[in-house]
Amino acid sequence: MALHLYDTATRDVREFRPARGATASMYVCGATVQGIPHIGHVRGALNYDVLRRWLLHNGLDVLMVRNVTDIDDKILAKAADAGRPWWEWAATHERAFEDAYTALGCLPPSIAPRATGHVTQMIELMQRLIDAGHAYAAGGDVYFSVTSFDDYGVLSGQRLDEMQQGETQAEGKRDPRDFTLWKSSKPGEPSWPTPWGEGRPGWHLECSAMATTYLGPEFDIHGGGVDLVFPHHENERAQSRAAGDGFARFWLHNAWVTLSGEKMSKSLGNVVAIPEMVRRYRAVELRYYLIQPHYRSTIEYSDAALSEAAQGYRRIEQFLRRVSGASGEVRAGKVAAEFAAALDDDLGTPQAFAVLHNTVRDGNAALDGGDAAKSVELAETVRAMTEVLGLDPLSERWAERAGTESQALADLVDGMLAARQRARAERDFATADIIRDQLTNAGIAVEDTPNGPLWTVRD
């Protein structure tokens, strides 16, 4: 492979070669299932889904683990506020996340382990750390000794004398920078037995145990949001390496989705929930919007930007449907060389989308010029590229048109714009103007661009 990825630990773009032959291994930090998923939650899952698809396209088998954090302070608090059992609250929202992943076209993970199902492995990891002098028990809690691990801070670049774990100071903690591996039980909370007393796992411990259970002591890629670099991933790395595991060879981090300049979060109340979004837009259009920017670039959410992305997808869809309508079945061919080069360069989706749309433009020109063979050839290339991105309009997943109001409007407007384009190509400008006036009177604003018309619903 020619793939190069940016590794947070080395702060460099490095060549990716799987550690185990033709199998790539990935661990992606999944959801803490405390509430309904929003687009900030699913962005990372989509980014790593594209990476996985590119690895598969290049002939690799991919073992992908995406965990579920189903025990956590926030889950317990929200379940208690709602008067519902914590396990039922977690299971309900785990299903909501799975529904969102499925709706947006994510391939199912090789396994989606729950934290509560891996307490035995967590106990074993804590024992290894205690035996090696990197952890200690105190009053039913177990802590990792940060100063015992010389490499601490390498991932996040933080200085040891300046960092804070964000944990409350406990009586048995020797150093405020030490972090919790195991929390002693409190009345009314779920707990599990350990040699150090009843309690429940700390967040960082969970992921180390689950990653190595399924991928072994060393694996290729650990992914997650940039907000997890510290303390979560720093602590995962420290405890795993201190226990003697090589752990992740590459650390990948996707950027946030922001609203009014702030990271989306339920605590700020600035979330755009997935169930609401897929009522307003087709799921495939939302997927397009979230994977088009580079995974390390922040997305500043706006309805206008999402509407523009939806129209970008419709141009691809319309081209493939035009060709398939004129020539019959369009098979997936080979991706364009420029497209492959873009994805090989740290998953450069903006450049890949540019290649995709340039190919669509050339294909429409060939179709309008009567070159059926050329249009089919380019359509096969377009279909191959959209397959890699999980956006293939002719795939079984996306081919069936949703019967929603927004889809009906999109079909109607796209059809009218196609008729207008044909009229303009035939120099029947009177008909083209009539169609535009009809759209304008209906509240549809049309902007002619080099890549075709863009339309939006006027406020």
Residue 20 domain flag: yes
Residue 38 domain flag: yes
Q: Are residues 114 and 168 in the same domain?
A: yes
Residue 276 domain flag: no
Tokens describing residue 338: 């420029």
Query: For position 166, what pLDDT does the model report?
Result: 83
Number of structural domains found in the chain: 3
Q: Are residues 369 and 437 in the same domain?
A: no
- Tell me how long the chain is: 459
Q: Are residues 218 and 311 in the same domain?
A: no
Give the dihedral of Cα atoms 414, 412, 368, 434; nearest 10 deg.
Answer: -100
Residue 291 domain flag: no
Residue 293 domain flag: no
The structure tokens 């398939």 sit at: 324
Phi, psi dihedral angles at 47 (to 5 degrees): -60, -45
Select from 263, 290, 312 the last residue of a domain.
Answer: 263
Q: Are residues 75 and 198 in the same domain?
A: yes
Q: What is the rounded CA–CA span in Å between residue 295 and residue 74?
A: 27
| Contacting residues for 398 by C-beta, under 8 A, at least 6 apart | 105, 284, 391, 392
The enclosing H or E element of 429 equals: helix 429-441
Query: For position 411, what pLDDT does the model report?
Result: 74
Q: The domain that contains 370 carries what CATH number?
A: 1.20.120.640
Select from 246, 263, 280 the last residue of a domain.
Answer: 263
Q: What is the rounded CA–CA span in Å between residue 438 and residue 421?
A: 15
CA R_g for the chain? 25
Q: Which residues of 363-387 are buried (b: 16+ CB within 10 A; e: fewer)?
A: bbebbeeeeeeebbbbbbbbbbbbb
pLDDT tens string for the chain (459 positions)? Answer: 799 999 999 999 999 999 999 999 999 999 999 999 999 999 999 999 999 999 999 999 999 999 999 999 999 999 999 999 999 999 999 999 999 999 999 999 999 999 999 999 999 999 999 999 999 999 999 999 999 999 999 999 988 888 888 887 788 899 999 999 999 999 999 999 999 999 999 999 999 999 999 999 999 999 999 999 999 999 999 999 999 999 999 999 999 998 877 776 665 555 688 988 888 889 999 999 999 999 999 999 998 999 999 999 999 999 998 898 888 889 999 999 999 999 999 999 999 999 999 999 999 999 989 999 999 999 999 999 999 999 999 999 998 644 344 567 777 888 899 899 899 999 999 999 999 999 988 888 787 766 577 676 654
Select from 373, 400, 427 the last residue of a domain.
Answer: 400
Q: Are residues 99 and 162 in the same domain?
A: yes
Q: Are residues 429 and 352 in the same domain?
A: no
Q: Are residues 379 and 431 in the same domain?
A: no
Q: Which of 349, 356, 345 is nearest to 313 (CA)?
A: 356
Which residue range forms the structural domain that includes residue 448? 402-459
Q: Are residues 390 and 409 in the same domain?
A: no
Residue type, 59: G
Residue 52 domain flag: yes
Q: Are residues 313 and 225 in the same domain?
A: no
Helices (H), 328-404: 337-344, 349-368, 372-389, 396-399
Query: For position 168, what pLDDT does the model report?
Result: 77
Q: Are residues 59 and 203 in the same domain?
A: yes
How would DSSP label each residue in 253-310? EE--EEETTEE--TTTT---BHHHHHHHS-HHHHHHHHHSS-TTSPEE--HHHHHHHH
The enclosing H or E element of 209 equals: helix 203-215
Phi, psi dihedral angles at 216 (to 5 degrees): 90, 175
Tokens describing residue 457: 């619903």
Q: What is the rounded CA–CA span in Å between residue 241 and residue 78?
A: 34
E strands within 11-127? 12-15, 23-28, 61-66
For residue 400, CA distances in Å to 309, 324, 451 come to: 20, 15, 26
Q: The domain that contains 43 carries what CATH number?
A: 3.40.50.620
The structure tokens 């990476």 sit at: 51
Q: Are residues 424 and 325 in the same domain?
A: no
Q: Taking a C-beta distance cutoff of 8 angstroms, is the pair 239, 160 a contact?
A: no
Residue 444 domain flag: yes
For residue 270, CA distances in Å to 94, 265, 408 come to: 21, 6, 29
The structure tokens 């040891």 sit at: 160
Residue 255 domain flag: yes
| Contacting residues for 446 by C-beta, under 8 A, at least 6 apart | 417, 436, 439, 440, 453, 454, 455
Q: Are residues 168 and 254 in the same domain?
A: yes
Q: Taking a C-beta distance cutoff of 8 angstroms, is the pair 185, 200 a contact?
A: yes
Tokens describing residue 368: 């309008």
